[in-house]
Structure 1
């Protein structure tokens, strides 16, 4: 119903339908009716009762779900589609190639349409063409997707993900292990893998990014990413970071690190890169806090992201360069001290990022949202 409403209702009412649809269909915590009514009056979904510290902070210090779903969604104007489209975003970041994983191609109609041409040879051994413009050679020269992927898996892991979408939904991590194959860590046969690949459409095939040792030590079963939010301050003429978190996978989240699927969300001190406690939340259960990883026992609280100052400086330089897109949620993998890869960028960021601290406590952040009509 929410999807239909997005097409039928005028802006911004369709976003209210999406908010209502998510609240009605996603797992919700048991919240008393009076508390739920209070939350709804202030623009929050029921889950906020468990995630936000309303005893310490007032509701006005949090970016509400209504403000996030409606106002913040439109903040980037026409550029929101370019940011949320993973292929267009990859091309938009061409200037910063050292921070981009390779995108080998687009799976469509069982074929792999090359994008980063130097990486995808055609069946006759010649160079692959680019997606933009005409692909070199006849249609028959475009590689068979399953054949190309299986051949490539002999050399490296691969990631398949829809060119749109978020929250780790429909992400496949493919590997060749012990003479067989795995999809998101689950064993499968070659025929099963081929069947899965043949069923994919509009999926990007990308490089699998290797994380730095500190992140692998905490949890090696997933690539553990950071979500860093940047805002462009037009008055000061510079970008800034209002909030950052680190995510770590768990046995419950499988091969992915997403908070919505059972991963840990960890607060990051924006000045020092020091990690705080981890929080895991799968409603209707209550959130749990961890100073050590619940599966590996490795310390989380007190660790520091290696080279955080350099990472933040480089991200801010990119955000300054893209100042016409003032609001970006970056998903990055730290690959070495002071170095990182941008897995994707997001037009919006989940309000759940505030589980560690309210976004609107700082005047600069509040002014940004006010200037753009979100508050």
Structure 2
């Protein structure tokens, strides 16, 4: 456990500070992190990613840390209903009218229904219902597929439960950033059920990178902040390794200053989704925009990462406090 902690600490220090650190400074960082953990609940990632080593007490109070994130989640989200977001079959069923795509619960259909579904589409995606960050997702080209064999393989896996979904498309303005992945909009909301008001807390564009098929931040993806009022990207792009980008490194498309199409309609769409479930009030929604201003809901995360919302912009703890203190 200690070795794992030291390795993680050194890794994060190298990413954000570099290797040229004296032994005295190393001791200082360890001690300072421990204090920030005790006082603010900061994880190792929080400490370095938010620049706590450069901030004093008041500056550190601005940020949602690991401990504060759990305060938000516990205040907003009923424990017994979190499965409605975390299990993809339950989520898809609950948010059917927001999905905008065809899907089936593989473990609850027969072989003929599965084969028929696969024959409808040239490409389908197989997903584990508890998969996250793209883990457990398979892209299947159905032209040469033996659908019966695949069905038997999936239903005989006693350790997993699967759904199948049709492939989706995205609007060209967002595909241009990284056409090898679907580039989604992550919007985090808090639903005040007392006043029936949905607060949009943060919005970010997620872009794939390195020709990966997913845009996930923890698989080399790139994020950038979207101004909630204007729909314009107002920060540089960044990744989980503290690299920053004015333009996308693969396509060269400029990130900062880009405008998200149909932004007002997108906000209306996500507020409708948030009102659809009252027991999970803090959710990070992943949205795809299609041509003509059509929106698809990929998933809703009751445990939306607090770091992704704040990196390269500002701390959001006070904004959350002002809302959840009433709950």
Q: Which residue of 2 aligns with 1:218?
A: 177
Please list every run of 5 or more consecutive structure 2 residues that lacks an aligned counterpart in the other structure.
14-25
Q: Which residue of 2 aligns with 1:129?
A: none
1:349 correspondence with 2:309: no
1:258 correspondence with 2:257: no
- Partners of 2:118 and 2:124 within 8 A in 1: no
**Counterpart-to-counterpart distance in 1, 2:192 and 2:114:** 46
**Counterpart-to-counterpart distance in 2, 1:71 and 1:312:** 22
Q: 1:235 to 1:207 in 2, by over 3 A?
A: same
- Partners of 2:102 and 2:165 within 8 A in 1: yes
Instruction: State the Cα distance separating 1:225 from its structure 2 match.
Output: 1.0
User: Which one of 256, 259, 270 corresponds to residue 304 of structure 1?
Assistant: 259
Q: 1:71 to 1:24 in 2, by over 3 A?
A: farther
Pairwise CA RMSD? 3.2
- Partners of 2:85 and 2:301 within 8 A in 1: yes
Correspondences of 1:1-375 after superposition (within 5 Å)? 29-31=11-13, 32=26, 33-41=30-38, 42-54=40-52, 55=54, 58-69=59-70, 72-73=73-74, 75-77=76-78, 78-94=80-96, 97=97, 99-108=98-107, 113-114=108-109, 142-143=110-111, 147=115, 151-152=119-120, 155-175=121-141, 201-234=160-193, 236-251=195-210, 254-275=212-233, 276-282=235-241, 287-353=242-308, 354-355=310-311, 356-362=313-319, 365-372=320-327
Q: 1:146 to 1:234 in 2, by over 3 A?
A: closer
Q: 1:70 to 1:236 in 2, by over 3 A?
A: closer
**Counterpart-to-counterpart distance in 2, 1:293 and 1:25:** 33
**Counterpart-to-counterpart distance in 1, 2:138 and 2:271:** 30
Instruction: State the Cα distance separating 1:265 from its structure 2 match.
Output: 1.1
Runs in 1 of length 4+ with deviation above 6 angstroms? 189-196
- 1:316-366, CA deviations, whole angstroms, 9 ceiling, x for partnerless residues? 13323434432221111111353310001111211122213322243xx22
User: TM-score, normalised on structure 1?
Assistant: 0.70
- Partners of 1:146 and 1:197 within 8 A in 2: no
**Counterpart-to-counterpart distance in 2, 1:333 and 1:202:** 25
Instruction: State the Cα distance separating 1:247 from its structure 2 match.
Output: 0.5
May I ask how many residue pairs the two structures share in their alignment? 300
- Partners of 1:212 and 1:335 within 8 A in 2: yes
SS of match in other structure, 2:82: helix
Instruction: State the Cα distance separating 1:71 from its structure 2 match.
Output: 5.2
SS of match in other structure, 1:317: helix
Instruction: State the Cα distance separating 1:242 from its structure 2 match.
Output: 0.9
- 1:254-310, CA deviations, whole angstroms, 9 ceiling, x for partnerless residues? 21111111100111110111113111124xxxx011110011111111111101011
Instruction: State the Cα distance separating 1:74 from its structure 2 match.
Output: 6.2
Q: 1:25 to 1:89 in 2, by over 3 A?
A: farther
**Counterpart-to-counterpart distance in 2, 1:327 and 1:292:** 31
- 1:188-208, CA deviations, whole angstroms, 9 ceiling, x for partnerless residues? x99997897577530110122
Q: 1:325 to 1:216 in 2, by over 3 A?
A: same
- 1:71-118, CA deviations, whole angstroms, 9 ceiling, x for partnerless residues? 515632132222222222222223xx2x3143532233xxxx34xxxx
Q: 1:194 to 1:165 in 2, by over 3 A?
A: closer
Q: 1:150 to 1:93 in 2, by over 3 A?
A: closer
Q: 1:158 to 1:240 in 2, by over 3 A?
A: same
**Counterpart-to-counterpart distance in 2, 1:88 and 1:25:** 39
Please list every run of 5 or more consecutive structure 1 residues that lacks an aligned counterpart in the other structure.
1-19, 115-141, 182-188
- Partners of 1:224 and 1:333 within 8 A in 2: yes
User: TM-score, normalised on structure 2?
Assistant: 0.79
- Partners of 2:287 and 2:298 within 8 A in 1: yes
**Counterpart-to-counterpart distance in 1, 2:238 and 2:150:** 34
- Partners of 2:269 and 2:295 within 8 A in 1: no
**Counterpart-to-counterpart distance in 2, 1:343 and 1:260:** 17
SS of match in other structure, 2:218: helix
